[in-house]
Amino acid sequence: MKKKILKSILSTILGISAISVALGFILPITTITPYWIILSRSGFNNSCWNILLGNEHLYFGSPFTANLGTKAWNASDSVYGLKALEKEGNNKYQVYYPSFTKKEIDDNKALKQVGFFALRNHKSEEKTPFVINIAGGGFTSVCTMVESLPVSAKFQEYGYTSFALTYRISKTFGECDNLDNVLSDIAKSISIIRDKADEFNIDPDKYIITGFSAGAYIASSWCDKDLGYEKYNLPSPTSVNLLYGYNLDSILKDSFDVPTYSLLCKNDQYFNSSDYESIIKHYENNNVNHSIKIVNCLHGFGLGTNTEAEGWVKDSLDFYNGIE
């Protein structure tokens, strides 16, 4: 009798699980849809696994469970970005572009980590500037799903073709094993995007670069003529958005002249708030166009929904349009 009851309970559980999985593929993405189901849906073209680069432990989790692990992350913002990307795929657009060929990846497996997700501007037929977004993750992961993808979706909403870049990750949290490699990854992806200017309907010479935390370190390094764009014979960004991060050595150079929009966390556990005053003073003394705000938010807020930073994407575009 007990065996029959247990068998009945097990069958019920398996049946419910099967139904839940099936519904996960059919119903809209929610905060509790597991990532393995999300990324297996047809709209992602079976090509978007780098969304969890360095965060593979979240494979069987969901935006909700990821949010539980890191309080600054917003599960609803993650869903917003994922839905935008899925919509592109469902409309038969390519959503992820590897930056290296199969042969190059076969020769160097780490290059599989490098590429970009594309969200196109569907609001205008005119060529527009584009936006590069670089997520952080302490250099040991790339938190695309909570930072660069939702923010790319918001820029797309405002009429800009936007890209979420991935890059080679490091072994030790908080340390970049090889900044030259990472910047060459960024250069490679930007070069491909510019070469595909007609496909993406963008002005290849005008772009905004945005970085978050470690991604902001990378973005500010890219704006350093000695390390970034000039070294790779690529145009300077029209402006840079630095969210809770920076390469202090780069932005304090007298030669650093890229207009900067920045939100810095008041009590940041990873970047020293005592630097903020010297950063602002340096920008003022060197007449670098800037808008730097210190916000009372947790490090990692991404899009910033329901925080003091909410609406920063629109503010950054107002800043950008003011310097054109």
Sequence-distant (6+) residues with CB within 8 A of 297 are 72, 244, 263, 265, 266, 304, 307, 308, 309
Do 253 and 224 contact (CB within 8 A), yes or no? Answer: yes
Answer yes or no: do 67 and 120 share one domain: yes
Answer yes or no: do 133 and 266 share one domain: yes
Residues 182-232: tens digit of each pLDDT: 999 999 999 999 999 999 999 999 999 999 999 999 999 999 999 999 999
Q: How many domains does the chain have?
A: 2
Confidence check: pLDDT of 21 > 90: no
Answer yes or no: do 94 and 191 share one domain: yes
How far, in Å, CA of 31 to CA of 20, rounded? 14
What the block records as the tokens of 127 is 């060529």
pTM reported for the whole predicted model: 0.92
Answer yes or no: do 21 and 134 share one domain: no
Phi–psi pair at 145, nearest 5 degrees: -65, -20
Residues 117-138: tens digit of each pLDDT: 999 999 888 999 999 999 999 9
Answer yes or no: do 113 and 260 share one domain: yes
What residue numbers bound the domain in which 13 lies?
1-30
DSSP state of 39: T
So what's the pLDDT on residue 93? 96
So what's the pLDDT on residue 323? 84
Mean pLDDT across 77-92: 97
Answer yes or no: do 15 and 128 share one domain: no
- Residue 49 belongs to domain with CATH number: 3.40.50.1820
Answer yes or no: do 19 and 84 share one domain: no
Answer yes or no: do 38 and 19 share one domain: no
Mean pLDDT across 42-54: 91
How far, in Å, CA of 278 to CA of 268, rounded? 16
Answer yes or no: do 8 and 69 share one domain: no
Answer yes or no: do 263 and 319 share one domain: yes
